[in-house]
Amino acid sequence: MLASETGGVDSVSHPPEGEWPPAGRAWWALFVFGVTLTISYVDRGVVNLLVEPIKADLHLSDTQISLVMGFAFITFYLILGLPLARVIDGGPRRAILGTCVTIWSVATGLCGLAQSFFQLALFRVGVGAGEAGVAPAISSMVSDLFPPHKLPRAMSMLAFAFIGGNALALLLGGFVLGSLSTSGPLTILGMGPLKPWQLTFLAVGLPGLFAALLYLTVPDPVRRGGHATAGKDTPTLVEVLRYIRKNASVFGPMFIGLALHSVAFFGTLAWSPAFFSRTHGWSPAHYGSVAGIVGLVASPIGLMIGFRITESFIRKGYDDASLRLVVWATWLALPFHIAMPLMPNPYLAVGMIAISGAIGVSAIGSQNAAMMMVTPNRMRGQMTALFLAMYNVIGFGAGPTVVAVLTDFVFGREALLRWALLCTALVLPAGSAILLTLGLKPYGEEVARIRTTA
C-alpha cells in the first residue's frame, strides 16, 4: 500500500541529528497525524452514540454493550500493542501507520454488518488491532520532528484531533443516524436490509482508507534524543520495564494517576448519550448535535490556553512545566465532573461537560509531552504502548463496564444511570489528582537531570 522505505519520499537523505527537519515538512506531517487521530477517535467513539439502537436490534444488556465499547476494542490493542511498539522503535514508522489505518477502517465498516453480540465484538477487536500501532508511532515521530521547547505546542496541536474526533463522532454520527432514521432500512451493493446504525458504521469507516494514502507524502524523520540508549539496538520490553522500575517515582504517578482518571472520563463519554436519553429524554441524534457543537467550541479554547500556560512555565524555568499543567487541570475539572449528573436540566448538564472537558483537554498536549521528555528515543514507542495498555485497560476498557455494572447490579435500574456516573466521578478523578501531585517533584528532578547531562 505504501511506497518502499528505500524509495519515494523516504529516499531523501536525513539531516544530521543536530538539525531539525524544515518547519514545513514537520507541520505537514503533524497535519497528517492529526487527520489520522481524528478518524481513529471517530471510528472508536461512534459506537457510543449508537448504544440504544444496537441494544434494541441485537437484544443486548448494558453490560454486554459496554464490553463491545470497551474490552472488545482493547483485546488485540493490548496483544499487538507492545510487540508492534518494539518494531516501531526500530523500524519503518510511516509504513506501519498507513497499514494500521487501513486495518481499523475496514473493521469499522464491518461493524455495520454485525448480526449478533459476538460478531460485533469480533469486529471491534479488529478496530483495536488496527489502532494498536498508531499512538506509539505518532508519539515517536513527533518527538523527532520538533525540538523540546516546541514539543508541548506540537502535542497540543495533535490534541485538536482528540477534540475533533470525539466531536465529529457525535456530530457526524448524529447527523448520519438522524438522516438515515427517516429512510428506514436500505440495501447497498447487495447488503441488506441495513438499519441506520449499521449504515453509520459503514459511512464513518470509509474516510480512513483515503487517509492511509496520505502517508505516501510523510517521510520518517531521523531518530534523535537517545540520551539513555545511545549506541544500543532497540531495547527489549524487559529493558523498558527495568527503566520504568528504576524511575518508578517518575513514571508511576503518571501511569496510575492518568489511568484512574481515564475510568471516569471514558465511562462518562461512553454513557453520556444514554444518560441524556434516559434522564432528560433527548434522542441520540439530538445529543450528538448539541454536545458535538459545544465540544468544538469549548475544547479548543481550553487547549490553546493550556499549551500557552505550559510554555509560560517553560519560560519561567520550571522543569516540571508539562506535568504541572496536568496536575492543575485535574484538580480544576473535578467539581464540574461531579456536578454533571446532578444537573436538573440537560443544558446545564451539557454546560458541565463543556467546562470539565475544556479544562481536561487543556492538558492533553502537555501530558503527552511530559511522557516523551523523560523517555529515551529508542523506548518511546514501547513506553507509549505500555502507558496506553494501562490507560486503555483501566480506562477505555473498564470505564464503560464499571458504569454499566453499577447500573445493572448496584442500582438495578437503567433509569438510575446518573447515580452510577456520579459514583465514578466522586472517587476516581480525586485519586488521580492526588497521585499526579505526588509525582510532580520527582518528575521535575528527572527533567533537570536529563537537561544537564544531554
pTM for the model stands at 0.65
- Backbone dihedral region for residue 166 (phi beyond 0: left; psi -120 to 50: alpha; all else: beta): alpha
Q: Rounded to whole angstroms, how far apart are CA atoms 137 and 142?
A: 9
Q: Are 253 and 387 in contact (CB under 8 A)?
A: no
Name the residue ranges covered by the structural domains of the chain: 21-218+233-453
C-beta separation of 113 from 198 below 8 A: yes
Q: At what angle do helices 51-58 and 117-131 cross, to 10 degrees?
A: 140
> Within its chain, how far is the Cα of 345 from the centroid?
29
In one letter, which amino acid is 5?
E
| Per-residue pLDDT tens listing for the chain (454 residues) | 333 333 333 333 344 445 788 888 889 999 999 888 888 888 887 887 788 888 888 888 888 888 888 777 777 777 777 788 888 887 788 888 988 999 999 999 899 888 888 899 899 988 888 888 888 888 888 888 888 778 777 877 787 776 767 676 667 666 766 665 565 556 665 666 788 888 888 888 888 988 989 988 888 888 775 544 444 567 888 899 999 999 999 999 999 998 888 888 888 888 898 899 999 999 877 887 888 788 778 888 888 888 889 889 988 989 999 999 999 999 999 999 999 999 999 999 999 999 998 998 888 878 888 888 898 888 887 888 788 777 767 777 788 888 988 988 888 888 899 999 999 888 888 899 999 999 999 999 999 998 888 6
Best CATH choice for the domain 21-218+233-453 from the list 2.70.150.10, 2.70.170.10, 1.20.1250.20, 1.10.10.60: 1.20.1250.20
- The span from the CA of 397 to the CA of 392, in Å, is 6
Give the model's pLDDT for residue 441: 95
Q: Are residues 175 and 79 in contact, defined by beta-carbon separation less than 8 angstroms? A: no
pLDDT at residue 46, rounded to an integer: 80
